[in-house]
Each structure stands twice: as C-alpha cells, then as structure tokens.
C-alpha cells in the first residue's frame, strides 16, 4: 500500500513538505510502537492515558517509513506524516 492509497482510504492529507512521498510503500501498519518493523506505517492514536504521538521517535528508530497523526505539528519532521481528523478511525479504514 502506498501513502497515496492511505490518503484516499482515510481522507487524510500529507504535510506540504511530504508531497513527494506519495508513492512510498508501507509494508505493515500498526498503532503499537513495539510492533513497528522496517517499512511500517505507524498510527499515533491519542488515548485517555497515553498519547501515541509520544512514540513516533521510537517507531522511527524501529523502521517506520511514515506515520498518521491528528497533530499537525507532530515530530519528527524527517518522516512523512499523514494528517487526519481521527487517527483511530483512519486505522480502521485502512
């Protein structure tokens, strides 16, 4: 699945700096940073007690190629980010 496919499925948008990443392949999708493998798309879900955005650096270090977030200013800036209204819903749609 490419980032373009992800954008279509979850009605998300790429940050402007990531527009060239549309054809990036995502081989695995997870919201659990402990399960990220090389080529993963990490979905950062904000829960009642834990904010998945805090685990984006860990996901990156484990091989994530992009991430989905509701937070437009989520770091790091060196990974493509798909911005959505509801990350949990986006995960379900994908």
This prediction has a pTM of 0.91
Q: Does residue 83 carry a pLDDT above 70?
A: yes
List, in sequence order, every residue forming a beta bridge with 2; answer none if it has no partner. 25
Query: What is the percent of the chain with per-residue pLDDT over 90, rounded to a whole number?
Result: 65
Dump the DSSP string for 11-27: T-EE-GGGGGGTT-B--
pLDDT in tens, 36-81: 999 999 999 998 999 999 999 999 999 999 999 998 877 777 889 9
Place of tokens 């993963």: 40
């Amino acid at each position: 699945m490419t980032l373009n496919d992800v954008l279509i499925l979850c009605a998300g948008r790429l940050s402007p700096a990531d527009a060239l990443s549309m054809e990036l392949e995502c081989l695995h999708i997870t919201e659990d940073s402990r399960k990220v493998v090389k080529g993963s798309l990490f979905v950062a879900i904000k829960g009642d007690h834990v904010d998945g955005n805090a685990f984006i650096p860990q996901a990156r270090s484990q091989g994530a190629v992009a991430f989905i977030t509701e937070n437009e200013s989520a770091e790091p800036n060196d990974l493509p980010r798909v911005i959505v209204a509801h990350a949990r819903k986006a995960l379900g749609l994908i």
